[in-house]
Amino acid sequence: MTYGTTASARDGEELPSGEQLSTDGEAPGGGEAPADEEAQLASLYRDLAAVDLHPLWTITRNLLPPTPRPRSVPWLWSAPVLTDLAERALRLVPVERGGERRVLSLGNPGLGGLPYAAGTLWGAIQCLGQGETAPAHRHTPGAIRFILSGDGVATTVDGDVCDMHPGDLVLTPSWNWHDHSSTSDGPMLWFDGLDLPMIEALDAVFFEPYPDLRQPEETPHNRSETTAGPGPRFVSGAVRDVVDGRHSPLLVYRWTDTDRELTRLAAESAEPLVSLEFVSPQTGASVLPTMNCGMHRLAPGAHTLPVRRTGNAVFVVYRGSGSSVIDGQRFDWSAGDMFVVPSWAAAEHTSAEGADLFSIGDSPVLRALGIYRELTLAAPQSVTGVFTPATPAAPAVPATPAAPVTSAATNQDQVRS
């Protein structure tokens, strides 16, 4: 949305910036505007634009919509395309200072060419080849790594060498030195999630390269796993009340532990979906103050009710296959696919065989500000069409979005905050 006015507009005409006069053929206060008053209004708008002032009465509806209107749109990137392009980049593009990382970022088409998966979240696939080192650096945006495939790679975080294996979650918190090194004879692929768009919006991005290519390798490896404390590393569902400005002292969450906890939750629940959030074992808060990380297990034959949540989310399919209906569009997915659920989009999930999905979101910020909302709808959505993901040879084919649903909850809908 843009709001600046650079010329006058007649009744009903859109101003160059997208603003409109507040009423058709009427003065801002109501009633017909005489010709001389219309000319005076046109002059007023020109003069306001000349000194970079904006008349609120022309933009109120854009600034204060009844429900969130995220710029990002529901979208999906398919694993075969992601993997093929990452492997091509591996052969052609070295990892070195300057570029720093061999990363392919998810660019949401709703964001006008920005390299962001959603308005507040960066999502990407990163590839490290045999014997390579991605140089050490640090930055104010916080990051997580969810390992998709490969072995023999470690991320060193402020001197702690964290070995990485498929299904592991590794944290590289804000302003922590980190580098990635491979001793493997094959590549490793992982998902990168960062709060970069959020930190950029706050004009608080700082970056610093480490003096050497790598940090000194300290022993033993994986120190945080023994020093973080014995507290719970997961909570069922999502963190609701705990807000903490510090990151988790535990830097690695192992898939073996995550899988065991999901199995326990599924055995104790009759619900089609069980979810856990990774948390700090010391405080119970989300792993980063700006991002939450979760894992979700869909039972075979599961079909969840649609839920709307404030905050953006990026999902990574770790195992299995299924589909999600997001604001009326059906997105079919399988292992390795990545998809976006924008803020307040209605999302429901189904799987015939069962599936495990990893996710990141920005809910810790919304909870800290007291503006997190969640609405469970009473019935499945009507499917308006099926999304076809892009390939290098053909663009994506999004279905026509479903009509927006009013924010008012019915007696059957369940609201949480």
Asked if residue 163 is part of any domain, the answer here is yes
Domain tally, the chain: 2
> Residues 86, 144: one domain?
yes
More confident: 251 or 400: 251
Q: Compute the average pLDDT of residues 9-13.
A: 36
Query: Do 116 and 70 contact (CB within 8 A), yes or no?
Result: no
Beta strands in 8-57 (DSSP E): none
> Residues 19, 167: one domain?
no
Structure tokens at 384: 């308006």
Mean pLDDT of the chain: 90
Q: Which domain holds residue 29?
A: 1-64
Asked if residue 146 is part of any domain, the answer here is yes
> Residues 399, 252: one domain?
yes
Query: Do 274 and 131 contact (CB within 8 A), yes or no?
Result: no
User: pLDDT by residue (tens digit) across 370-391?
Assistant: 999 999 999 999 999 999 999 9
Predicted structure pTM score: 0.88
Q: Which residues contact 140 (CB under 8 A, 6 or more apart)?
A: 174, 175, 199, 204, 205, 206, 207
Q: Compute the average pLDDT of residues 206-233.
A: 94
Asked if residue 69 is part of any domain, the answer here is no
Structure tokens at 187: 């590549």
Three-state DSSP class for residue 255 = helix
> Residues 17, 86: one domain?
no
pLDDT above 80: residue 2:
no
Band of pLDDT at residue 316, cut at 50, 70 and 90: very high
Q: How far apart are CA 71 and CA 51, in angstroms?
A: 28
> Residues 385, 344: one domain?
yes
User: pLDDT by residue (tens digit) across 348-361?
Assistant: 999 999 999 999 99
In degrees and rounded to multiples of 5, residue 183 shows phi and psi of -115, 15
Band of pLDDT at residue 309, cut at 50, 70 and 90: very high
Asked if residue 120 is part of any domain, the answer here is yes
Query: Do 189 and 89 contact (CB within 8 A), yes or no?
Result: no
Asked if residue 174 is part of any domain, the answer here is yes
Residues constituting the chain:
417
> Residues 17, 157: one domain?
no
